[in-house]
Amino acid sequence: MASNFDFLKNVDKELFSLIVDGEKLFRDEYFNQCAVQLRIFAEKTAKKVLGNVQKEMTFDDIINCLKDRIETQEQKEFVEDLFFIKRAGNKCAHGEDISSSEILEAIKRAFEIAINFSYFKKKDEKIRKLQFDETLLVTCKPLKENKLIDEYVRLATEEKAELLNLKQGEFNSNVIKTVDGKKDESYINKVNQYKKTRIKKKELTPSQKRVKEKIKEARITVKEKIEGNLKTKKKSKKSKNKKNRLYKHLIFIIFITISLFLLTKIMFFY
């Protein structure tokens, strides 16, 4: 079965055996036991890196010694990964449960520890370029470079591009350009003719024509009635205005006669 740690097999078989057992425990969902196994792997790796480890030295002592030797960022990350795995293993050793996300993070950090250790031993740049594969951890089968969804996207993109190229080819074959880059007159005339045929109205049936004529007649009669009503209203207004003017003249004449009569009476009798 394939493993994320296959590169470690040729570097240190003991460490490879420890970490492969940890992967099996993870796949079987024995997360607490997996955390303890990873702690053993990390401690063994730290001892091999430190060298000349005394028997009475604890894991904490080894980590502190490595901490004092830190010179690069990689060494700092190596010590941090050791501490993370030690803390997770101690937690499970004392009866506390660990979540699946925590144990997955611990395995990833174990992978980084194995990378740093292998590079420390072999000085091979290819080892530093290796990437952790979660699918490989769960299925023991390496994930293909192109995922299935990526393949679908690629095929859809290619199909779309092919269709666009086909349509562009059809367009270019229909459009002929002159030397100065303008479109050919014949093509423009064809397009205009096509537009005219699209816009051209359909001929009406006899029944549709009759209905159209009736609507037209109805509109004319309605228009005539409206105009007739307006004329009669105007005439009635004019006649009313004449009557009003006559009444005003009569009232004025009566008023003048009465005024003259009274005036003459006053003059003769006083």
Which domains does the chain possess? Answer: 6-139 (1.20.120.330), 148-199 (no CATH)
Phi, psi of 177 (to 5 degrees): -100, 150
pLDDT at 164: 72
Joined tokens for residue 173:
């074959």
CA distance 155 to 208: 54
Any alpha helices (H) in 69-184, and if so which ranges?
A: 73-93, 100-122, 125-128, 134-139, 148-174
| Residue stretches of the chain with pLDDT short of 50 | 145-146, 148-149, 179, 199
CA distance 141 to 250: 122
Partner residues linked to 177 by β-bridges: 183
Q: Shortest CA distance to 116 belongs to which of 170, 76, 161, 151?
A: 76
Q: Is the distance from CB of 162 to CB of 155 less than 8 angstroms?
A: no
Q: Residues 83-138: pLDDT tens digits?
A: 999 999 999 988 899 999 999 999 999 999 999 999 989 888 999 999 999 999 98
Q: Is the distance from CB of 81 to CB of 109 less than 8 angstroms?
A: yes
